Chains A and B, each alone.
Chain A
């Protein structure tokens, strides 16, 4: 377990909030006023919060659970964490003695915590016992996989036909056709159980409206889609790693079966991309010993935050297992050995030329890759017309910021942090430019989230 004195910062606590309203409400409860009998021990925090009713709410938070933070509160809110849990954590983060470290939680909190621990133990035991008995029907699973592969092949073939038709008639015609054409094709790909293809097709529909230079971008994406189709249709001829990449790009399910790597994983960035149906949360981690940068993906229903949340600047002692596929950084969080705790170390950085070269090299293993995670050392945000770039402090080269990064408020936090001086920046470097996600000042100072 972690040393008991290590507390999170208010920002890190607020990053757990499921929405802005909770963040605000939690912020108001982060004062000693309404709280009594608060205490903390080994990654767990508890307290009684006086609400409008006669009986105070009982709030318990377990940050040290093997499967992430968990919250319990006797309030009727259905948000997780609720404002009481956030307020309690803020109070704890404030570290002004309102939430003292105590040896044992009171019974009302201790019981739930003990139950949780016991259940987690039980699950782990089950998982260890269950893996042997796992695929009870290997023959059936193989048949199902074959059937699905057949459908995907049919879908890919059909898509190839449509792309050929498109190029025969010309992209100019497609520009006028609008979304309808693509939506219909995307629906066919969903039927073909190839969600990866469907997503790419849907994105094609938006390109003709994306401004100057769209024919070039549309041709690029059509060509890469064609490459993916061809990769699928000839996957038997590909090296294993590339074939795995093609399978995951097409959208076939895979499990994180890589060897688990235990490390101190520093949370570099966490951000959500909302979609009409789904909120995708990306969390970038950096291993202190391994030097690896890994991506955790989690999903939430539209308009709701995914449950997994790891505030920037914390490090967790845990195991990560990689997903199959060459040169891809996606991983799944395995066992955690301690609650996440603030960490002072930073990832090592590189220059802009090296960052671009790294993207180029990564394309060798995965030509569909949009960007790679990199940390830039000693770069300065520089305005260049209505665009911004990150310029090396010591050379004459620079990376333009991506279009998405230009309109985010984080850009101004980055510019303010730098003040014209070099900073360290973590972000995603790809063919659309660089998207900064986190920055560190040159001198001492905490990581500043930019997304």
Chain B
């Protein structure tokens, strides 16, 4: 709005000429303000009513002018209007689901309450699941919830992919207007600006040559996801001229859609000036079991590992490399070991890790992976060798070797640290099919209980398969009967709230009551357990409701 006559209040920048002509005959507003600032003693007003003292006459005039200024306000000229947000073609959320989203987001803004959680569900923890489900149905986010959604995603990076997918094109439009949500532009392909079409070679080439680093990374990433070869060729065209840090970042983007076609380029990158670039190139090549590098590594690794048939039973003997030659270094082997490790075992580990696993059955008498893992290893090399095979199985995504290295979940050594740590087991499990993974973890929990299971549960598909869900509930039940407090299992409880299939809620009925206190149990534990199980049951029911709401037909 614009004020009349001259002085405009802040925020009302455009003066309207139409009004300035109607300025009062007496002093202008600016004149009045100057007089008021200095005081009438120093600057007597130009005109004063007879019989009124100077300050009162000034106030009289200012009162008239103020009301006139306010009454004479005019609308301002409209600034350039923003482009309209792109249409979101997705259907609207069902009404009940929209209300649920409001509740989930409201829980977040409610601040954090410390202390015991009681028996009511933790709504914020359900938001990721709700978002995933809404995305599966392909609903559009209600536009007025976008700010809360973006604020939630801003605080929790793990929420971002699902939240931004749900928020849709309008969130991108909105984020350009608010610097707080800049992360949305970074997360969007192309940094929020439109990327040239892959077919438009000239535009792609221009952006690649002239774009900012972030734009170029985005361009490369998006090209790589659609036409991997084109992306690689683009990178090769300017490779020699790039800075070392940039080369590393660009090379890393080849990880997506890696194929044998990339080998020549990667092989050439093995001769790069930067060591980090060389190492990354070698790592990428070793993930391609048919590459020349993998073949060279296979030769090197096989030379170190042999089968000794001289004794009663066959034994694997290991002769670690004596030196790290320049060829090995060129293929990405790091010569200097970290503090506290012998350099020969360090080199062996790297060779066995990078060699394709397919080399071993041939080398070790035509045995299967399972048989090879079962073979004894001479001279304490077993830990080193098995650990390297684990890393190789994870890197090459080899389920057969993973299965062999994981062993039976109910084996007594599976519960302890053993040769394969829990973290490595979790990674190995990730290479298996979801059902097999769940079955293995269920077997593990049935034998070893929950105390070591948290990390393993984290890699299982949600909702948990029935055998896994049953194993977890049974193990919780056993833990309760053992008399410990439920918060020793709060991690698993929290996971169960989010991951247990809601149909399992019926199995919890018997656990909801407060059991009689036993003598050997921790005091009051029974009540806390009942509370924890109630929260579990309530959360499961809530998740079932959430799913049902999202499944309901959207309003016509």
Contacts and interface: CB of A to CB of B under 8 A. Distances in A.
Contacts of B542: 31, 33
B121 interface: yes
B415 to A, nearest CB: 35
A415 B174 contact: yes
A97 B196 CA distance: 52
Nearest to B84: A420
Interface in A218-258: 218-220, 222-224, 226-227
Nearest to B103: A27
A389 B77 CA distance: 10
A123 interface: no
Nearest to B83: A420
Interface string B104-115: 001101110100
Nearest to A170: B39
Given A170-B36, A399-B1, A416-B144, A383 B177 contact: yes
A1 interface: no
Contact of B111 (A21, A220, A402): A21
Contacts of A11: 99, 102
Contacts of A361: 71
B516 interface: no
Contact of A52 (B110, B118, B538): B118
A168 interface: yes
Contacts, number: 245
A419 B123 CA distance: 29
A363 B70 contact: yes
Interface stretch (A183-191, A259-267, A390-398): A390-398
Contact of B178 (A10, A30, A412): A412
Interface string A146-171: 00000000000000100111111111
Sorting the interface of chain A by its residue count into under 10, 10 to 19, 20 to 34 or 35 or more gives 35 or more
A226 B9 contact: no
Given A96-B545, A164-B56, A360-B70, A398 B76 contact: yes
Contacts of A364: 71
A25 B78 CA distance: 44
A163 B3 CA distance: 25
B76 to A, nearest CB: 5
Contacts of B109: 20
Given A216-B9, A364-B71, A412-B178, A398 B77 contact: yes
A52 B12 CA distance: 57
Contacts of A383: 79, 82, 177
Contacts of A32: 541, 545
A44 interface: no
B76 A389 contact: yes
A160 B66 CA distance: 18
A94 B546 CA distance: 11
A441 interface: yes
Interface in A342-396: 352-353, 356, 359-361, 363-364, 367, 380, 382-385, 387, 389, 391-392, 395-396
Contacts of A226: 56, 59-60, 62-63
A330 interface: no
B151 to A, nearest CB: 8
A24 B110 CA distance: 6
A202 to B, nearest CB: 19
Contact of B103 (A10, A353, A363, A385): A10
A96 B123 CA distance: 19
A219 B62 contact: yes
Interface in A258-298: none
A23 B147 contact: no
B78 A389 contact: yes
A400 B1 contact: yes
Interface in B54-74: 54-56, 58-60, 62-63, 65-67, 69-74
Interface in B94-139: 96, 99, 102-103, 106-107, 109-111, 113, 118-121, 123
A382 B33 CA distance: 32
B40 interface: yes
A416 B147 contact: yes
A99 interface: no
A413 interface: yes
A396 to B, nearest CB: 5
A386 to B, nearest CB: 10
A75 interface: no
B541 A33 contact: yes
A387 B53 contact: no
A213 B10 contact: yes
A217 interface: yes
Contact of A413 (B55, B74, B123, B144): B144
Interface string B38-55: 111110000000000111
Contacts of B143: 416-417, 419, 441
B305 to A, nearest CB: 58
Contact of A24 (B12, B81, B107): B107
B111 A224 contact: no
B40 A167 contact: yes
A68 interface: no
A86 to B, nearest CB: 11
B55 A168 contact: yes
Given A21-B111, A409-B147, A415-B174, A216 B106 contact: no
A242 to B, nearest CB: 13
A448 interface: yes
Nearest to A447: B144
Given A164-B53, A400-B11, A223 B59 contact: yes
Contacts of A419: 84-85, 143, 170, 173-174
Given A33-B541, A163-B55, A169-B41, A399 B76 contact: yes
B71 to A, nearest CB: 4
B24 interface: no
15 contacts: A50-B534, A90-B103, A95-B96, A165-B55, A167-B59, A171-B37, A216-B7, A226-B62, A397-B74, A399-B1, A399-B75, A412-B146, A416-B170, A419-B84, A433-B1
Closest 5 CB pairs of A and B: A170-B39, A24-B110, A419-B85, A28-B120, A397-B75
Given A21-B111, A403-B11, 6 more contacts: A163-B55, A226-B63, A353-B74, A392-B78, A398-B77, A400-B12
